[in-house]
Amino acid sequence: MTEIAANLERVRAQTAEAAKKSGRSSDEIELVAISKTHEAEKVRAAFDAGQQLFGESRVQEARAKIPLLPSAARWHFVGRLQKNKVRHALPLFELFHSVDSLELAQQMNRIAVEEGSRPRILLEVNVAGEGSKIGFAPDVLSAEMEALLDLPRLTIEGLMTIPPLAPEAEASRRYFIALRELREQLAAEFQMQLPQLSMGMSDDFVVAIEEGATLVRVGTAIFGKRTPLRLRNPAGDFDAT
Ligand SMILES: *Cc1c(COP(=O)(O)O)cnc(C)c1O
């Protein structure tokens, strides 16, 4: 068995255990293998080990990599999407986790009209309210939800968050709880379904599952360490390394 296959097996076992512990079915939780910065060959090893869903955070990188993988692989976008990349990105990804402003959502809707597509999205929320400025502040999201719901091409399927970096997984728990509670509040206030909660990465996905995650975004625990993106990506994509 390759190292990647062994890693996947371990992550899946931890997922099943966390689901069981919290009285959930593992079927409710989908693993998004975050393959950013990793070569197609490594992604192929994960695919061969049964992983079909992958996440990328840069459009150019994904455009180069996706054609090298089997067409049965599915792709989610998890990075910061620049408005001028939307047209290229829409056909590549089945779900956008990180829609972080009304302006971006409007742009995606506009391009989707032109291209005849129907993007599925999650709204990224900054539940910590400090440090990182990425994502909707919860009160802003509430104030802008009507406008978001007016974008006919977009399907809003849920919420996503990235908690502040912390030395231990337990530190993320309150942010995961906050995202789940915000989901309940928005669902009631706007009479909408928000079934997906994208939360949890290599260091804290077990805690995220305990708090209701339906999509966990795990990179390092599957593919190993990344070369720090900042060294070669001045645009500043989020990177946890
Ligand atoms: C890179 C990245 C991940 C994966 O992080 P790991 O710590 O390697 O598991 C998850 N989510 C987002 C948004 C990312 O950019």
> What tens digit of pLDDT does each residue of 8-59 get?
999 999 999 999 999 999 999 999 999 999 999 999 999 999 999 999 999 9
- pLDDT mean over 165-183: 97
Rounded distance from Cα 211 to ligand 1 centre (Å): 18
Ligand 1, pocket-test mutation among 57, 93, 237, most atoms within 8 A of CB: 57
The answer to whether residue 59 is domain-embedded is yes
Is the per-residue pLDDT at 234 higher than 50?
Answer: no
Rounded distance from Cα 114 to ligand 1 centre (Å): 31
The answer to whether residue 70 is domain-embedded is yes
Amino acid (one-letter) located at 132: S
Q: Which atom of ligand 1 lies closest to the CA of 201? A: 9
pLDDT of residue 229: 55
Q: Which atom of ligand 1 lies closest to the CA of 203? A: 7
pTM, rounded to two decimals: 0.94
The total number of structural domains that make up the chain: 1
3-state secondary structure 84-127: HHHHHHCCCCCEEEEECCHHHHHHHHHHHHHHCCCCEEEEEECC
The answer to whether residue 72 is domain-embedded is yes
How far is CA 32 from its chain centroid? 8
The answer to whether residue 230 is domain-embedded is no
Whether ligand 1 lies within 6 angstroms of the CB of 190 is answered as no
Contacts for 167-175 with beta carbons within 8 Å, 24 or more apart?
A: 169/203, 169/204, 169/206, 169/207, 170/207, 172/200, 172/204, 172/207, 172/208, 173/207, 173/210, 173/211, 175/127, 175/128, 175/199
The answer to whether residue 151 is domain-embedded is yes
Rounded distance from Cα 163 to ligand 1 centre (Å): 11
Q: Which atom of ligand 1 lies closest to the CA of 221? A: 9
End-to-end CA distance of the chain: 26
Rounded distance from Cα 190 to ligand 1 centre (Å): 30
Q: What is the CATH number of the domain that holds 37?
A: 3.20.20.10
Taking only the tens place, the pLDDT of each residue in 117-152 is 999 999 999 999 876 678 999 999 999 999 999 999
The answer to whether residue 240 is domain-embedded is no
The answer to whether residue 237 is domain-embedded is no
pLDDT of residue 220: 98
Amino acid (one-letter) located at 188: A
Share of the chain above pLDDT 70, in %: 93
Give the domain range for residue 88: 3-225
The answer to whether residue 231 is domain-embedded is no
Ligand 1, pocket-test mutation among 34, 198, 205, most atoms within 8 A of CB: 34
Contacts for 75-81 with beta carbons within 8 Å, 24 or more apart?
A: 76/32, 76/215, 78/32, 78/34, 78/36, 78/160, 78/198, 78/217, 79/36, 79/237, 79/238, 80/134, 80/235, 80/236, 80/237, 80/238, 81/108
Rounded distance from Cα 33 to ligand 1 centre (Å): 9
Amino acid (one-letter) located at 199: M
Whether ligand 1 lies within 6 angstroms of the CB of 233 is answered as no
Rounded distance from Cα 188 to ligand 1 centre (Å): 30
Rounded distance from Cα 34 to ligand 1 centre (Å): 6
Q: Which atom of ligand 1 lies closest to the CA of 217? A: 10
Dihedral of alpha carbons 241, 54, 121, 37, sign: positive
Whether ligand 1 lies within 6 angstroms of the CB of 162 is answered as yes
